[in-house]
Amino acid sequence: MTLRSFTSLAGLVLVALAAGAVHVTQGTSAIGFHDLLDLAVGRGDQLTRDVLMGSRLPRLLAGLVVGLAVGVSGALLQSVTRNPLASPDTLAINGGAWFAATVVAAFGISLPLFLQGGIAFVGGLVGAGLVLTLSGGASGPARLVLAGSALALALGSMTGMLLLLFEEQTQSLFAWGNGNLVQISIDAPAQGAVAVTAVVLVAMLLCRRLDLLALGDDAASSLGVNVRLIQLVAVLLAVLLASLAVTVAGPMGFIGLCAPVLARLSGRWVKDVHRHRVLLPLSGLIGIVLVVVADVLMRLVPTGAFGPGVPTGVATTMFGAMVLIGIARGFRQGGTVPEAPSARSRTGSPFRFTALLVAGLSVLLVGATLLGLLAGRGWTLMGEDRLLLGDVVNWLSGNAGPLVHYTLEERVPRLLAATFAGAALALAGCATQAVCRNPLAEPGLLGVTAGAGVGAITCIAFAGVTALWLINISAVVGAAVAFGIVYAVSWRGGLDSIRLVLVGVGVAALGQALIAFILISFSPYDTQLALTWLNGSTYGRTYEQVVPLVIVVLVAVPILFRHRNDLDVMALDDDTPRVLGLSLERTRLTLLVTAVVLTAASASAIGLVVFTGLVAPHAARAVVGSRHVRVLPVAMLLGAILVSLADTFGRNVIAPDQVPAGMVTALIGTPYFVWLLWRSRA
């Protein structure tokens, strides 16, 4: 290590010490710097000692442990995958670890720290294994982020379901799930410090082999490195570090991405940063500084009575999302993401087959609608006899009794909302996947869904929950703003599909952080209501709320069918549309705006529903081929059936309680997505 490198590391240590010194002076009590200084020279009182040892030092130690762990973890993952976007977040390690920890908490199981870390390690390892193995090693930056973000979305939805169904057992996990350094004692961070230090020391033993691995697999093998073994060990160590961090303080968003990136960018001052003996400790130090400074800043922000409880991970996620967006801006135009084989498995299907399929799906949709009308409250009518088909006929003819009339007047708007929301999301998914040229893309991964969530949650927190029409308008505005940001940032002399996806993922992460910040800072008592909306619920819907969605779908259908041939050629590359005389940027903008309006209308009607925009278009292409004249009607019907059945199932599976429709679609979409990754791993 050169003198300049050593000096740079020493300077970073001083910055960390200064941040730590400021950190211990912060807190809800009146104890400040002078009180701590008196304690240091032996003149302090017992109260000061108790506050320092019982609250402030444990919180600071937790920040040091988490920063070191995720910083080194991200550096290991980026080195092994040779991908600057690899991190515990983008590989779904944090999502898997959080889900595993929530499962344990939901069933009321109390475990010591090392067993909690073991459970989180298993969850994180499963998440990383799915992203790396099923996606063929995630050889491309966009593919890695897309696969990891989609899987993290699925894991987050299932975690949200547990938070709703087991509210009492998991009431403190929402804040913890966003990365919270608050500790009840020094035991957990102290044990975590020992474990993280040991794992980092083991990782340092791999430095020389990791240096050789950077030369390429063939070169490393010729120099005697067992490439597969080193990659496996490095990934296991990275997952273990990330899992320990989650166990101590919850998922600390994007530090594992930012710290190694900033470390590599410091090559101007640290000449040996390409060597892992410098890169790993430097990433760990930067991780420590980022976490501690983020915690200091979050405690300085005036957020009312609940300010001290705002998770540190909210700030780190915001910063990390901006770093991801900055990296995405550097990708050059013209890149593509390989299409999944199943998406092009059929060159086309006869018109008669498509017509019969559309007719069959229409019959299934009618059946799903009737099932939704008859099924409710555990298949009973307000605790009495079951609702029968004859009751529906009587209601349609205006001859139903008061109880039947009341029941169907409640169920029909819900079914209409679910059906048209599913159709809207499927159509939006068709447009998004064609524009992005990737069957793994969906509107939620372009930041639109998160933007709608920010708008709605802002309204819930500051305007109350009674003005539902205002919530819907806020969701539409939030979605439009998010799309505007994604489109503007992605534009660099043209709109590149890879840049669009990466920027969208960054904006989506930023939106999720803003949602958590608003909820915890200003409206903590509305968390359960907000979680219900964020996971897609049709509860209490009225005809007035469904009409705008129906109008949007009816307007969007002819627009998309008019551009059906444009969707076909845009799904190929950027050059073919221009050769054929298509105004690429204008058409692209038209289709994306249509997808955004469809997604926003769906969100305003039933909240956020995931995976419908991914599953329905992909399933349609797998059955009828890639021509959008066939894909659009089939996908629209599949989406409508999926969300309609999900709503019916959610209303009955644990009646009289209800599971939001979005959670059911996540449970359905997750195994389908895993299968899709398996098919497209090459």
Instruction: Give the pLDDT of residue 499.
Output: 78
Instruction: Give the pLDDT of residue 148.
Output: 78
Which mean pLDDT values do the consecutive 10-residue runs of the chain (682 residues) have?
Answer: 74 87 80 74 76 85 93 92 83 86 79 78 86 62 69 77 71 69 85 92 92 84 86 90 88 86 83 86 92 86 54 84 80 46 48 87 92 69 60 76 77 90 93 80 78 83 68 82 85 70 83 81 66 74 84 94 86 74 80 88 83 87 86 94 89 74 79 70 54
d(CA 425, CA 635): 9
Instruction: Give the pLDDT of residue 531.
Output: 67
The DSSP call for residue 331 is: S
Instruction: Give the pLDDT of residue 642.
Output: 92
Task: Please determine, looking at this structure, whether the domain spanning 57-299 carries the CATH number 1.10.3720.10.
Answer: no
Question: Tokens 């054929």 correspond to what residue?
Answer: 580
Instruction: Give the pLDDT of residue 497.
Output: 67
Model confidence, pTM: 0.77
Instruction: Give the pLDDT of residue 360.
Output: 93
Burial environment of residue 209 by CB neighbours within 10 A (0 to 12, 13 to 18, 19 or more)? buried
Instruction: Give the pLDDT of residue 619.
Output: 87
491 bridge partner residues: 495
The answer to whether 319 and 294 are in contact (CB under 8 A) is yes
3-state secondary structure of 491: strand
Residue 372: closest CA among 191, 171, 126, 640? 640
Question: Tokens 């966003």 correspond to what residue?
Answer: 178
Residue 604: closest CA among 505, 658, 536, 659? 536
The answer to whether 640 and 420 are in contact (CB under 8 A) is yes
Residue 591: closest CA among 619, 618, 565, 609? 565
Instruction: Give the pLDDT of residue 311.
Output: 77
Question: Tokens 């088909």 correspond to what residue?
Answer: 389
Does 358-679 match 57-299 at the fold level? yes
495 bridge partner residues: 491
Q: Where are the domains of the chain?
A: 57-299, 358-679
- Rounded to a whole number of angstroms, the CA Rg of the chain reads 26
Which DSSP string do the residues of 91-122 spell out, in sequence order? TTHHHHHHHHHHHHHHTT----HHHHHHHHHH
d(CA 477, CA 480): 5
d(CA 628, CA 615): 15
Query: Who contacts 119 (Cβ-Cβ below 8 Å, separation ≥6)?
Result: 100, 101, 103, 104, 111
Residue 293: closest CA among 90, 556, 22? 22
Give backbone dihedrals phi and psi of 495, rounded to 5 degrees, phi first.
-110, 110
Q: Which fold has domain 358-679?
A: ABC transporter involved in vitamin B12 uptake, BtuC (1.10.3470)
Query: Who contacts 565 (Cβ-Cβ below 8 Å, separation ≥6)?
Result: 628, 629
Instruction: Give the pLDDT of residue 309.
Output: 60
Torsion angle of the four alpha carbons 96, 184, 283, 135, in this order, in degrees rounded to the nearest 10: 0
d(CA 479, CA 447): 8
3-state secondary structure of 135: coil
Residue 218, both tokens: 């063939």
Burial environment of residue 411 by CB neighbours within 10 A (0 to 12, 13 to 18, 19 or more)? buried
Neighbours of 623 (CB within 10 A): 18
Instruction: Give the pLDDT of residue 681.
Output: 57
The answer to whether 381 and 659 are in contact (CB under 8 A) is no
The residue type at 642: L
Residue 584, both tokens: 């690429």
The answer to whether 79 and 214 are in contact (CB under 8 A) is yes
Residue 476, both tokens: 């539409």
Neighbours of 675 (CB within 10 A): 12
Burial environment of residue 397 by CB neighbours within 10 A (0 to 12, 13 to 18, 19 or more)? exposed
Instruction: Give the pLDDT of residue 338.
Output: 42
d(CA 244, CA 113): 9
Instruction: Give the pLDDT of residue 570.
Output: 80
Torsion angle of the four alpha carbons 181, 183, 187, 191, in this order, in degrees rounded to the nearest 10: -20
SS (H, E, C) 334-368: CCCCCCCHHHHCCCCCCHHHHHHHHHHHHHHHHHH
Instruction: Give the pLDDT of residue 677.
Output: 64
Residue 612: closest CA among 632, 636, 596? 636
The answer to whether 160 and 535 are in contact (CB under 8 A) is yes
Residue 599: closest CA among 410, 422, 470, 353? 422
d(CA 434, CA 620): 13
3-state secondary structure of 227: helix
What are the start-end ranges of the H helices in 83-226? Answer: 93-106, 113-134, 141-165, 173-176, 187-204, 207-213, 217-222
